[in-house]
């Protein structure tokens, strides 16, 4: 089915430094409806500013030789509708850049443009670190007494353990670092459209792909042939410093005045020959509503 006239035409292209603020703001907005994220934002001692975190992550990954980004633009080229990031291990990145259409001259232009981006955030990062240090000195509390800090530590340790399993020495793989779609444009096939060329690239390189997935993203990833290889189940109420408010409960669809449980999954997708794709299922995943 062809996109209806009310839906913008989509263009996929590598991320540019000037697009980082828009992509970070979009991701922060998209994750605002995630109960797991909202619990992590309850810490007064350790602010969880998603906008700043995504800006820092994107700037860092744009500097990395082993990362690529796909960005959706609206038909006018002005509105970012979604973005997806990926990284590589044990892969010839020059071949990847050629496949993604990033020529050396374009790469140099990106390198020059991101200098200002790095400088603009360096002072912000230092300020946030100073604030965190000063807050700890004032309270004198042990990190272990902060339930949100314990939640971060648990997730970080789990991620490190799975990274060792999924990326052993000598492996060659691609990994999805982020996937975010504007809430106003979700359920229109944009997430699948972002993933498809990246997975096709992994297939062309004959490498497997792995992902650390939120509950909201997992149904789409299953459609894209990811299989669950591990999970981390969290009782969010065990870490939340307070119960959700009535407004939060309505907004997030919570039950019984509790934050509830959350399952974070690790998925793996083996490389396939492109002709092995189920064309019908792929069209269904990419289909815009009529």
Render pLDDT for 162-187 as a digit per residue (tens, 0 to 9): 999 999 999 999 999 999 998 988 88
State which H helix or E strand residue 202 sits in. helix 190-205
Q: Where are the domains of the chain?
A: 11-286
Q: Which residue has the higher pLDDT, 32 or 120?
A: 32
Predicted pLDDT of residue 143:
52
Nearest 5°: the CA angle 113, 116, 120 is: 145
- Contact (Cβ atoms closer than 8 angstroms) between residue 166 and residue 268: yes
- Binned at pLDDT 50, 70 and 90, residue 155 comes out as very high
Q: Is the pLDDT of residue 110 over 80?
A: no
- Contact (Cβ atoms closer than 8 angstroms) between residue 182 and residue 81: yes
Query: Cα(249)–Cα(87) distance, rounded to whole angstroms?
Result: 36
Query: Cα(247)–Cα(252) distance, rounded to whole angstroms?
Result: 9
Could you tell me which residues come within 8 angstroms of residue 54 by beta carbon, excluding any fewer than 6 positions away? 23, 24, 27, 28, 178
Query: Cα(261)–Cα(113) distance, rounded to whole angstroms?
Result: 42
Give the number of other CB atoms < 10 A from CB of residue 112: 10
Average pLDDT over residues 275-285: 47
- In CATH, what class is 11-286? alpha beta
| Residue 149 backbone class (left: φ over 0; alpha: ψ -120 to 50; beta: rest) | alpha
Average pLDDT over residues 34-61: 89
């Amino acid at each position: 089915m062809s996109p209806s006239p009310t839906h913008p035409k989509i263009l996929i292209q590598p991320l540019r430094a000037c697009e980082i603020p828009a992509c970070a703001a979009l991701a922060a907005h998209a994750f605002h409806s995630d109960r797991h994220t909202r619990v992590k934002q309850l810490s007064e001692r350790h602010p969880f500013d998603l906008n700043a975190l995504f800006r820092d992550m994107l700037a860092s990954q744009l500097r990395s030789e082993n990362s690529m980004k796909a960005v959706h633009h609206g038909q006018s080229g002005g509105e970012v509708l979604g973005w997806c990031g990926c990284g590589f291990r044990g892969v010839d990145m020059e071949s990847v850049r050629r496949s993604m259409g990033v020529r050396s001259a374009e790469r140099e232009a990106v390198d020059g443009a991101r200098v200002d981006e790095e400088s603009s955030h360096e002072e912000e990062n230092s300020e946030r670190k100073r604030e965190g240090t000063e807050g700890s000195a004032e309270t004198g509390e042990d990190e272990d007494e902060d339930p949100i800090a314990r939640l971060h530590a648990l997730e970080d340790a789990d991620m490190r353990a799975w990274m060792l399993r999924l990326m052993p020495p000598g492996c060659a793989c691609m990994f999805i670092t982020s996937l975010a779609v504007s809430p106003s444009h979700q359920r229109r096939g944009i997430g699948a459209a972002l993933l498809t060329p990246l997975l096709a690239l992994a297939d062309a390189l004959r490498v497997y792909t792995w992902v650390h997935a939120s509950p909201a993203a997992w149904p789409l990833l299953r459609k894209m042939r990811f299989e669950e290889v591990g999970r981390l189940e969290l009782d969010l109420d065990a870490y939340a410093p307070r119960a959700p408010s009535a407004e939060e409960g309505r907004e997030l669809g919570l039950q019984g005045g509790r934050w509830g449980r959350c399952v974070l999954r690790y998925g793996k997708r083996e490389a396939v020959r492109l002709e092995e794709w189920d064309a019908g299922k792929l069209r269904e995943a990419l289909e815009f509503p009529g």
